[in-house]
DNA sequence: CGGTTGTTTGACGCAGTTCAAGCGGAGTGG
DNA sequence: CCACTCCGCTTGAACTGCGTCAAACAACCG
């Protein structure tokens, strides 16, 4: 994850095998309505797709990008690396996610974006973004919305890591990923391809790998999910949801009882 | 914290004892430059200040506010309440903070904002916000920046709760609050008034009250901070900072060692 | 000065971590 | 087609940071 193994393949060849850029539009339209003009303006922002190898950084921590990035296919994550190699993943990203509008507004990255699987991305130069949002304020508004939704997800994760049991967090994680993937058409019935390892999941949940494995086994044992060879199936949505909000972890938190 | 004890005092009397609304401008200007026109336009958004009693909700979880809120004085927090009375605080807020531009963009609150001490707030009706941001796009841009900075803070907290020891988290917490308060002029040398209880801090850190108390004692014992009767003094800034990034908690996280 | 809210201390328990080792599948080279 | 090697998954056993329980103390306030 430390070495950027960027592979800016020149896609002279036709779109063969290349995922559809329109997944970004599906994502934006899940946040608000777009006119045909706005759709085209957004697609015009996207430059020629590039491939990134699993394990490489798409955006480095501390960098000052001059472009934002849309993820077209594959799985990436926002993460922060600590001394001793400890990693906390702050969000999972997949097709349609814009991985760093932040850099357009905040300039400097306070975390890295890494490819968990092989990824295809499309860059969006900041100056083109500025022009487009000036011409179509609604685009800026929808991107703002996007960052706020992500912010809400951070709050949920924070609350979970802070106050929920490992099992609840796991249940929540699968609910969330499945719903987000469904919104951009990456699911198939009750199943979806979740191309991440248990190691990655443990860094999402703030758990050790060993304990994450045990949580997964418990969720499987409860017949709430199936997860093998990267295929996630939600077996019992209602119960999974219920487990996600259960707080098994005890804590004499200070919230006033009254 | 559950019952809204709003006290919309009619401030017919002069501003006597009322804190200065300009603290909101200091906050915004810490994020970007404002023209005199923009400053005035923003101040015009603010309605007559209201008082909220400690323990009451300024914005309720799940509500659909038609106004955003600027905190003028006092301490508030974003929080989420779980079954069994467990609470996770997602951020501390004080003078100058805009507690819910979210509601302007996202409509529905996914968390509550509660007053930890007596507070004075000023509402900003959404329709006035819309007009002002249409007229002054830079205002919208700066508010977007504000939400993104907050988002970055959420990520830091998440990483801390997920992967750092209790002591590190505590050290980080005091660093962050002090720096943020300094940015709006709420500090006095190395000291600041932090009007929150240890119970509140424990819900920020995702720790139990008892353990939070022990962390505080350790930080005091290390001569990094002093904290009594609501006055926080940073005794050794460099060491406090160093402790904040130390990861004492062990974890066989999956981040690739290589 | 009594009631209420916030802080501190001690003893004990457990959820989750660490250490260590074995297993299976997928590639890769001979 | 087998041998070798990663890499990811699983399991067991011991350990510990932090939570829970319980109780006393301190500070504030009308």
**pLDDT tens by residue, A28-84:** 999 999 999 999 999 999 999 999 999 999 999 999 999 999 999 999 999 999 988
CB contact under 8 A, B2 and A256: yes
Long-range contacts of B31-35 (CB under 8 A, 24+ apart): B31/B142, B31/B145, B31/B146, B31/B149, B32/B138, B32/B141, B32/B142, B32/B145, B34/B138, B34/B139, B34/B142, B35/B138
Give the CA B250 to C1' C9 distance in Å.
Answer: 27
Nucleotide nearest to B165 (CA to C1'): D17
Mean pLDDT, rounded, of chain B: 89
> What is the model's pTM?
0.90
Interface subset of B 53-82, CB within 8 angstroms of A:
55, 78-82
Say if CB B9 and CB B50 are below 8 A apart.
Answer: yes
Q: Does A228 touch chain B (CB under 8 A)?
A: no
Measure the N-to-C terminal CA separation of chain B; round to a whole number of Å: 48
Residue nearest C15 (alpha carbon to C1'): A249
Q: What is the mean pLDDT of chain A?
A: 89
pLDDT at B5: 44
Nearest CA in chain A to B105: A145
Cβ-Cβ pairs closer than 8 A, A with B, add up to 186
DSSP state of B213: H
pLDDT band of B18, cuts 50, 70, 90: low
Contacts of B122 (CB under 8 A, 6+ apart): B21, B24, B46, B47, B48, B49, B50, B69, B70, B72
Question: What is the sign, positive or negative, of the torsion defined by CA atoms of A13, A16, A18, A24?
Answer: positive
* Nearest nt to the B248 alpha carbon by C1': D17
Query: How close B84 comes to chain A (CA, Å)?
Result: 8
Q: Which of A134, A166, A199, A251 should we substitute to test contact with B (largest number of B Cβ atoms within 10 Å)?
A: A251
User: Touching check for A197 and chain B: CB below 8 Å?
Assistant: yes
Q: Do B151 and A156 count as a contact with CB atoms less than 8 A apart?
A: no
Across the interface, whether the CB atoms of A258 and B137 are under 8 A apart is answered no
**Greater pLDDT, A79 or A254:** A79
Distance between the alpha carbon (CA) of B229 and the C1' atom of C5, Å = 13
What are the pLDDT digits (tens) for B55-112?
999 999 999 999 999 999 999 999 999 988 899 999 999 999 999 888 999 989 999 9
Give chain A's length. 258
CA nearest to B138 within chain A: A134
Q: Closest chain B residue to A152 measured between Cα atoms?
A: B110
Residue–nucleotide distance: A229 CA to C27 C1' (Å): 16
Is B154 close to A156, i.e. CB distance below 8 A?
no
The answer to whether B242 contacts chain A (CB < 8 Å) is: no
């Amino acid at each position: 994850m430390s070495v950027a193994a960027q592979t800016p393949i020149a896609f002279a060849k036709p779109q063969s095998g290349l995922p559809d850029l329109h997944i970004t539009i599906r994502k934006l339209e899940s946040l608000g309505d777009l006119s045909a003009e706005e759709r085209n303006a957004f697609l015009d922002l996207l430059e020629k797709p590039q491939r990134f190898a699993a394990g490489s950084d798409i955006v480095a921590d501390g960098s000052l990008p001059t472009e934002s990035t849309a993820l077209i296919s594959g799985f990436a994550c926002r993460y922060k690396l600590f001394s001793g190699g400890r990693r906390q993943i702050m969000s999972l990203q997949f097709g349609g996610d814009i991985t760093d509008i932040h850099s357009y507004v905040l300039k400097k990255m306070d975390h890295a974006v890494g490819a968990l699987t092989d990824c295809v991305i499309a860059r969006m130069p900041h100056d083109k973004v500025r022009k487009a949002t000036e011409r179509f304020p609604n685009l800026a508004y929808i991107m703002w919305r996007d960052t706020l939704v992500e912010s809400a997800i951070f709050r949920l994760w924070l609350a979970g890591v802070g106050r929920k049991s490992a099992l609840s967090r796991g249940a929540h994680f699968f609910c969330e990923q499945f719903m987000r993937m469904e919104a951009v058409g990456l699911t198939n019935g009750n199943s979806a391809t979740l191309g991440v390892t248990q190691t990655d999941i443990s860094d999402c949940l703030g758990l050790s790998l060993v304990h994450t494995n045990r949580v997964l086994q418990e969720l499987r044992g409860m017949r709430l999910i199936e997860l093998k060879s990267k295929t996630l199936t939600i077996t019992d949505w209602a119960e999974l949801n219920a487990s996600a909000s259960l707080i098994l972890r005890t804590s004499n938190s200070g919230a006033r009882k009254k």
